[in-house]
């Protein structure tokens, strides 16, 4: 928990501080206060579910289930975690249940999974780390990141999402997914290598198109 919250930037932490009175008001029966919490956090929950499940229809269901679950279980929110962290944990559990259900229905993803080959380092590497998309994320880059993560095999996609997108610690991921920390780290490493490769192609092409 501690690490996930350290992952938040200062404005997010300030925003979280402002959640506490809203949670208290919602607990006292003020539905408008709960609506404010929903409006504030719906994007994080929705895109978490989108990346997790790769299907908008499922992500919309998870969004509804998560906030309904949060509303009904608000009294169990103890405030030792941030409200957003608590919500993302509910969403993650709902996503995992949905994945199991989808598997029983034998749904097959139409996305071609990316091949992961992390055994050798290419000799020529373009350093695109100084790319100007630093200041505020461009929508084109954001879209590309969504497409890239969607191409990862499910086991690696979920670990990358929980660690690098949502800021969970390796320990929390290990507990949530029921696997060892070593397995989490290994999947994360391979996922990051694959994402770096895809992003390298993307930034190289952008450079070529600029010329």
CB of 165 to another protein, least distance (A): 4
> Whole-angstrom Cα distance, residue 81 to residue 175?
16
φ and ψ at 24, to 5 degrees? Answer: -65, -40
HSE-CB at 4 with a 13 A cutoff on CA atoms is 23
Residues 6 or more apart from 116 whose CB is under 8 A from it? Answer: 153, 156, 190, 191, 193, 194
- Shorter beta-carbon distance to another protein: residue 20 or 171: 171
CB of 176 to another protein, least distance (A): 16
In terms of Cβ atoms closer than 10 Å to its own Cβ (0-12, 13-18, 19+), residue 156 is buried
Nearest to 20 by CA among 95, 84, 102: 84
Could you tell me if 166 and 188 are in contact, meaning their C-beta atoms sit under 8 angstroms apart?
A: no
User: Count of residues for the chain?
Assistant: 211
CB of 194 to another protein, least distance (A): 10
- Shorter beta-carbon distance to another protein: residue 105 or 121: 121
CB of 18 to another protein, least distance (A): 16
Q: Which tokens in the block code for residue 128?
A: 């695109």
> Whole-angstrom Cα distance, residue 157 to residue 168?
14
CB of 178 to another protein, least distance (A): 21
- Shorter beta-carbon distance to another protein: residue 122 or 178: 122
CB of 204 to another protein, least distance (A): 11
- Shorter beta-carbon distance to another protein: residue 103 or 142: 142
Residues that bind another protein (CB under 8 A): 7-9, 12, 29, 31, 34-35, 38-39, 42-44, 46-48, 60, 63-64, 67-68, 71-72, 118-129, 131, 133, 136-137, 139, 141-142, 145-146, 149, 160, 164-167, 170, 185, 188-189, 192-193, 195-196, 199-200
- Shorter beta-carbon distance to another protein: residue 113 or 118: 118
- Shorter beta-carbon distance to another protein: residue 54 or 170: 170
């Amino acid at each position: 928990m501690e690490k996930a919250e350290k992952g938040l930037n200062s404005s997010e932490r300030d925003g979280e501080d402002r959640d506490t009175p809203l949670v208290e008001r919602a607990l006292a029966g003020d539905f408008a206060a709960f609506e404010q919490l929903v409006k504030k956090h719906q994007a994080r929950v929705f895109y978490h579910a989108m990346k997790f499940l790769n299907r908008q229809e499922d992500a919309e269901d998870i969004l509804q289930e998560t906030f309904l679950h949060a509303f009904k279980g608000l009294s169990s929110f103890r405030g030792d975690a941030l409200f957003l962290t608590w919500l993302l944990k509910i969403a993650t559990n709902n996503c995992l249940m949905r994945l199991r259900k989808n598997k029983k229905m034998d749904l097959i993803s139409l996305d071609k999974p990316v091949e992961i080959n992390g055994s050798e380092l290419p000799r020529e590497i373009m350093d695109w780390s100084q790319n100007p998309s630093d200041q505020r994320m461009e929508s084109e880059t954001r879209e590309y990141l969504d497409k890239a993560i969607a191409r990862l095999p499910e086991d690696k996609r979920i670990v990358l999402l929980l660690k690098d997108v949502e800021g969970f610690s390796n320990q929390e991921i290990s507990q949530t997914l029921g696997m060892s920390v070593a397995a989490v780290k290994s999947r994360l490493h391979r996922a990051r290598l694959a994402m770096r490769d895809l992003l390298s192609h993307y930034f190289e092409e952008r450079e070529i198109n600029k010329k």
